[in-house]
Amino acid sequence: MSVNVTTADIIEIGTVASPLKKLVGPLRRALIYGLISYGGLVLINNSELALPNMWIAYLPMFIAVYVLTQWLDKKLGD
């Protein structure tokens, strides 16, 4: 018994894994962002800062979280 495998069959098999591969990157970024931003919020909220507006602390933290998330995603990515 022989099995005939054509190039079209190989290409079709390769496309099955493609949708899963497209989800890995966004899920990884969301997980990294969620963990780092949660840690940053805990750090700021427990720091006993007495600012008139907490966004003075939150805005730089979220910018730093975004930059760190992008950097880590590139390090961990494909």
8 A C-beta contact, residue 44 and residue 55: no
Which own/partner pairs from 61-66 qualify as long-range (CB within 8 Å, at least 24 positions apart)? 61/37, 62/37, 64/40, 65/33, 65/36, 65/37, 65/40, 66/33
Amino acid 13: pLDDT: 53
Q: CA-CA distance, 73 to 28, in Å (whole number)?
A: 7
Q: Which of 60, 6, 17, 26 is nearest to 68 (CA)?
A: 60
pTM of the model: 0.66
Across the 78 residues of the chain, what is the mean pLDDT of every consecutive 10-residue run?
62 60 86 94 92 91 94 85
